[in-house]
């Protein structure tokens, strides 16, 4: 296409591209490409190199190609931790979706001051995540007003055990990643033509059927994008288990951190990181397939 002469002499040579939009010069992508090469691909390469190296002494790395680190990972202990992490990410994503979808739906359909509501969703990002997580220590303290209210509602017992349990970890991750779920779903619902729902109801669908047949499919790409944005960081979750979970339950992120910071076994930690990256890549590929299929459906 690009090598063919322009169809009409009046069309400018640069910036035209047949069926597509205007074409921009390729060098505009250069800063981004360089950035990725330097700060994403290069560290990834170092990680890959470490993962097939061997630790000698306390933390020296010998670059002799071997797969010992990966075979050490074949261990029920690490399998258990990995499954527990998958569970955290899957259940956490589901909970975030259950809370995030109604919120996004409300803002997109009935919200009166949408920009203000969206701003409120984003506001927490203005504060360091570490500080917000520490703040939850207060909110989850059995002596804090949170539990007075819950006790008054008969939703909590006299001595609720939440802090330093996996419940606290789940509350923490749902809180942390909720905006990443709400925003893409909102973006999908915002573009939706609500008269389609009305039309479906006029033609005899009940509200539930109309939701299932019209709203849900149209919100689909937003749900998938939001779930992915939430699921992936939850797989590498580090902070919430340490602070809110009392560091009692170990997840993959903590296990990797332990290799780098405590045991100083960078090669073993790198091998773990490579496995997690591989799993995430599979998830992203599934996502791409899912989205392209749903887009084919939509058109």
Partner 1 sequence: MTDYTKLVLDQKYSRRGFIAAAGASAFLAACGGSTDSSSDEPAGTAEGGTATGDLLYYNWVDYVNPETYKTFAADTDVSVKKDFYESNEELQAKLQAGARGFDLIVPTGYMVQILAEADLLQELDHAEMPNVDKNIDPKFTSLPYDPDDKYSVPKDWGTTGFMYRTDMVKENPTSWSEFFELAKGPYSGQVMVLDGIPEVIGSTAVMLGYSYNTDDEAELDEVKNQLVELKPHIQAITSTNYKQSMIAGKTAMALGWNGDGAAVAAEVPAEYVIAEEGGEFWVDAYSIPVGAENPAAAYAWMDYVYDPAHNAVETEYTYYGSPLQRELLEGEIDAKVLANEDVFPPDDVLAKLEPNTVTPEGTKIRDRIWTEFKAA
| Interface residues toward partner 1, by CB under 8 A | 43, 46-47, 55-61, 77-78, 80-81, 84, 130, 134-135, 137-138, 141, 143-144, 161, 164, 238-239, 242-243, 246-250, 254-255, 257-266
> By C-beta, is 17 or 77 nearer to partner 1?
77
Q: How far is the CB of 245 from partner 1 (least distance, A)?
A: 8
Rg (CA), the chain: 25
> By C-beta, is 80 or 113 nearer to partner 1?
80
Contact 86, 249 (CB under 8 A): no
Q: Where are the beta strands (DSSP E) in the chain?
A: 54-56, 60-62
> By C-beta, is 20 or 57 nearer to partner 1?
57
Q: How far is the CB of 271 from partner 1 (least distance, A)?
A: 13
Contact 231, 283 (CB under 8 A): yes
Q: How far is the CB of 178 from partner 1 (least distance, A)?
A: 21
Residue (of 85, 118, 125) closest to 275 by Cα position: 85
Return the axis-axis angle of helices 216-235 and 76-109, rounded to nearest 10°.
140
> By C-beta, is 44 or 98 nearer to partner 1?
44
| Residues in Cβ contact with 110 at an 8 Å cutoff, skipping those fewer than 6 apart | none
> By C-beta, is 12 or 76 nearer to partner 1?
76
Residue (of 102, 297, 121) closest to 189 by Cα position: 102
Q: How far is the CB of 238 from partner 1 (least distance, A)?
A: 7
Classified as helix, coil or strand, 244 is: coil
Q: For residues 162 and 82, give the distance between their C-alpha atoms in angstroms, rounded to a whole number.
A: 23
Q: How far is the CB of 264 from partner 1 (least distance, A)?
A: 6
């Amino acid at each position: 296409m690009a090598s063919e002469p322009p169809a009409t002499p009046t069309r400018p040579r640069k910036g035209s591209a047949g069926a597509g939009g205007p074409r921009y010069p390729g060098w505009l992508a250069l800063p981004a490409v360089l950035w990725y090469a330097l700060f994403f691909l290069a560290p990834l390469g170092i990680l890959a190199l470490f993962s097939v190296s061997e630790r000698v002494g306390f933390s020296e790395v010998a670059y002799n190609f071997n797969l010992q680190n990966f075979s050490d990972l074949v261990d029920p202990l690490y399998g258990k931790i990995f499954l527990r992490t998958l569970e955290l990410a899957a259940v956490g994503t589901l909970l975030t979706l259950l809370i995030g979808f109604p919120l996004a739906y409300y803002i997109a359909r009935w919200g009166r001051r949408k920009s203000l509501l969206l701003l409120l969703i984003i506001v927490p990002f203005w504060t360091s995540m570490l500080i917000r997580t520490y703040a939850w220590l207060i909110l989850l303290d059995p002596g804090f007003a949170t539990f007075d209210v819950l006790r008054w509602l008969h939703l909590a017992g006299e001595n609720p055990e939440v802090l330093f349990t996996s419940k606290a970890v789940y509350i923490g991750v749902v809180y942390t990643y909720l905006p990443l779920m709400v925003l893409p779903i909102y973006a999908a619902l915002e573009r939706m033509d609500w008269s389609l729902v009305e039309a479906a109801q006029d033609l005899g669908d009940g509200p539930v059927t109309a939701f299932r047949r019209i709203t849900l499919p149209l919100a689909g790409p937003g749900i998938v994008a939001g779930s992915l944005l939430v699921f992936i960081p939850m797989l590498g979750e580090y902070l919430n288990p340490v602070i809110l979970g009392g560091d009692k339950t170990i997840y993959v992120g903590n296990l990797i951190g332990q290799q780098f910071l405590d045991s100083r076994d960078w090669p073993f930690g790198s091998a773990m990181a490579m496995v997690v990256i591989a799993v995430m890549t599979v998830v992203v590929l599934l996502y791409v397939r899912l989205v392209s299929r749903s887009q084919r459906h939509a058109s």
